[in-house]
Amino acid sequence: MESIIRKDDADRAAAALADPDAARACFDWQEARALLTGLPGGALNIGYEAVDRHVAQGHGSEVAVRWIGKDDTRRELTYADMADLSSRFANVLAAHGLTQGDRLFALMGRTPELYGAAIGTLKAGLVFTPLFSAFGPEPIRTRMEIGEANVLLTTASIYRRKIAAWRDEIPSLKLVLIAGDEAPERCVALAPALAAASETFEVAQTEPEDRALIHFTSGTTGKPKGAVHVHQAVLYHAYSGRNALELTPGTIYWCTADPGWVTGTSYGIIAPLVNRVTMIVDEAEFDVERWYGIIEREKVEVWYSAPTAIRMMMRAGAGAAAAFDFSSLKFLASVGEPLNPEAVTWSHQVFGRPFHDNWWQTETGGIMIANTRAMDVHPGSMGKPLPGIEAAIVEREDGTLRQCKAGKIGELALRPGWPSMMRTYLHEQARYDKCFVGGWYLSGDLAMQDADGYFWFVGRADDLIKSSGHLIGPFEVESALIEHDAIAEAGVIGIPDETAGEIVKAYVTLNAGYEASEDLERDVRGHARKRLGPAVAPRQIVFRKTLPKTRSGKIMRRLLKARELGLPDGDISTLETDET
C-alpha cells in the first residue's frame, strides 16, 4: 500500500469540513438547509436555487460560466445572464404548451445553451434528462421510449444522423428544439425562439418531492434503468458540493465530466451553481496540453476529473506538465471508478496536491463517501462517509443482513433517507424495491472498511474472482500492475481452472517506449507476485494495443471475459455504462 499523504494544519484549517469526524458526530440536516433559500410555502426548485436566488441576493454580476469553445473562443455568462437565458428557455417551453411534469431530454455537447436549458427546464417544473451525445441511435431511442420524452433538445447534425428516421415512433414527443439559428423540417430553431422570448419567468412552485431529474444507468446488462430524483436532491447537491468538493462562492471550478452523465449534471451544473462558483466549461475533448493550459490560464482552484483522464495524464509523463504553473490548485478530486493508489501519489508529485477519490452512484444522486480536504489521504481508499451518511459493509446470513467486522470484504450498504437518494426506477418499482434489504440500500459494490474507518473498493459483486479459496478483487490486481513502469492500463478477469476454480488473467496496454515481449511479460508477472503474492498475482498476462471501454472510459471486464470464454459480444451491454 502506498504511504499515507498527511495533511498539514493550513490545509485542514482551510477546508470546508475542518474536522470531518466531529461533523459526523453532531450532524444535523439544518446545516445543509442553511445553504438554500427555498420558495414561499415550502416549495423548492433546483433552478431557482442554482441561479435566480443569487441574482435576488445581489450577486448577479458574478461570473457563473466561463465557456471555452473548441476553437478557443470565449464567452462569459454572469448569474444575471444565466437567469435571463434560463427564463427565456422556460418561456419557449411554455409557448409550445409544455407544462410542469413534462420531460425534456438533452442530447448535445458542452455549450452555453445546454446549461441555460438545464436550469430553464427545472425552473419551468419540467423533468430534465441528460443523454450522452456520442450515443448511437438505439441507446437514444431506448431511453426516450422508457422516459416518454416530451421535448428533445439537440443539434441539427445529431438530429439528422440519429433521430429523424424514428422520430415519429416516439408518440410522447411533442417538440424538437435545435440549437442554433436554423432547424430541419418539423423542428424549432432555438436561437430565434430565445431571442423572441421574455427574459422574465415566474419559477414553478415545485414541491421537494416533485420529480426533477431522470438519470439513466445501464450498468452492464439489461435495459437501461431510469433513476428518478426529486427537487429535494438540491439540498444534498449543495451540501456535498460544499464539503466534498470545496465549492464556495467565487471558487474557480472545473468539472471535466460530460454533461450527458450524472456527474456532469449533479457536479457539473447543479452543485457548482447552487454554491455560486465560477464554472469553467471546455467544449473540446481531452488533450493533455490543452487541459494543463486551462488550469494555468484560468487559475483553476478546484478540479474534478476521472481516473481514465488521470491515467492518460500519467501516460503523457511528468515532463508534459513541467512547463505549466499549477499553483492555483487548492483541491483535486476524482470520480467514475476507483482511483489507483499510484495515480494519487503521482498527482501529489506533479501538481503538488493529490487527487482525492470519492464514491457514489447514479442511484445515490450525490457523493456518499469521500476523501475531503482535511483528511489524510490513504491512496487507494474511497475515504469516509460524509456527515449525514451512514455506510457499512454487510453480508447476507440466513436471509438477513449482518454487518461485517473491520477488514472483512462484503457489500457496501447505506442507510436510506439522504435527500438525493433516487425515489424509484422509472416503471420498475419491483426492481427498485430489491435494492433495499433490512433497512439498508445495497449498492452492489464489494468493499472493505479498515480499522480507521476508511472504505476500500474491491469490485462489483459479480466481478469478484474466486481462486483456490481466495476472494480477489480485480481493482487490487490492476492497481499493482500499473505500478510497473511499462504498464499504462490493465483489465483483470477470472477464467475457469479445474484445480483452482478460477485463475487471474490480466490484459494490459503499454506506455510509450515499451514493446511486448516474453521478457517483459515475465518481468511484469514477477512484479505482480512480489507486490501481491503468488495466490493473487495473475497467472497469465496478455499485451493489447487497446482495452474495451465504456463510452465514459471504464474498462469493460465483462467484455474481456465474454471474449475469453468465446461468448458473442452481443450477450452483454454495448458501451453504454455511465460514469458513476
What does the alpha-carbon distance between residue 102 and residue 91 come to, in Å, rounded to a whole number? 14
Every domain of the chain with CATH number 3.30.300.30 lies at: 464-571
| Identity of residue 50 | A
List for the chain the helix, strand, coil content (%; round to 5): 35, 25, 40
Can you identify the CATH homologous superfamily of domain 464-571?
Answer: ANL, C-terminal domain (3.30.300.30)
What does the alpha-carbon distance between residue 393 and residue 568 come to, in Å, rounded to a whole number? 35
Stretch 530-536: mean pLDDT: 83
DSSP at 161: I
| Of 162 and 568, more confident | 162
Residue 577 has pLDDT above 50, yes or no: no
Indicate the pLDDT class of residue 576, thresholds 50, 70 and 90.
very low
Residue 573: predicted pLDDT: 35
Residue 308: predicted pLDDT: 82
Residue 108 has pLDDT above 70, yes or no: yes
Q: Exposed, middle or buried: residue 313 (CB in 10 Å: 0-12, 13-18, 19+)? A: buried
What does the alpha-carbon distance between residue 463 and residue 492 come to, in Å, rounded to a whole number? 9
Stretch 146-173: mean pLDDT: 97
Q: Which residue reads 456520442 in cell numbers?
A: 134
Residue 470: predicted pLDDT: 66
User: Which alpha helices (DSSP H) does 148-232 contain, by range?
Assistant: 156-158, 190-196
Indicate the pLDDT class of residue 579, thresholds 50, 70 and 90.
very low
What does the alpha-carbon distance between residue 200 and residue 542 come to, in Å, rounded to a whole number? 61
Three-state SS for 169? helix
Asked which of 121-125, 211-215, 310-314 is least confident by mean pLDDT, the reply is 310-314
Class of domain 9-449: alpha beta
- Given a contact cutoff of 8 angstroms between Cβ atoms, the answer to whether 489 and 467 are in contact is no
pLDDT in tens, 7-19: 999 989 999 999 9
Q: Name the β-bridge partners of 226.
A: 216
Stretch 552-574: mean pLDDT: 64
Residue 222 has pLDDT above 70, yes or no: no
DSSP at 405: P
Pick from 18-22, 56-60, 485-489 the range whose average pLDDT is largest. Answer: 56-60
Q: What percent of the chain has pLDDT over 70?
A: 94
CA dist 174 → 149, 186, 187, 193, 226 (Å): 8, 10, 10, 16, 20
Residue 569 has pLDDT above 90, yes or no: no
Indicate the pLDDT class of residue 450, thresholds 50, 70 and 90.
very high
DSSP at 392: E
Stretch 348-375: mean pLDDT: 97
Residue 67: predicted pLDDT: 98
pLDDT in tens, 400-445: 899 999 999 999 999 999 999 999 999 999 999 999 999 999 999 9
Stretch 205-218: mean pLDDT: 94
3-state secondary structure 320-338: HHCCCCCCCCCEEEECCCC
Every domain of the chain with CATH number 3.40.50.12780 lies at: 9-449
Residue 150 grid cell: 416530451
Give the predicted TM-score (pTM) of the model.
0.85
- Given a contact cutoff of 8 angstroms between Cβ atoms, the answer to whether 357 and 382 are in contact is yes
pLDDT in tens, 298-329: 999 999 999 889 988 998 989 999 999 999 99
pLDDT in tens, 493-517: 888 887 777 889 999 999 989 999 9
What does the alpha-carbon distance between residue 578 and residue 580 come to, in Å, rounded to a whole number? 6
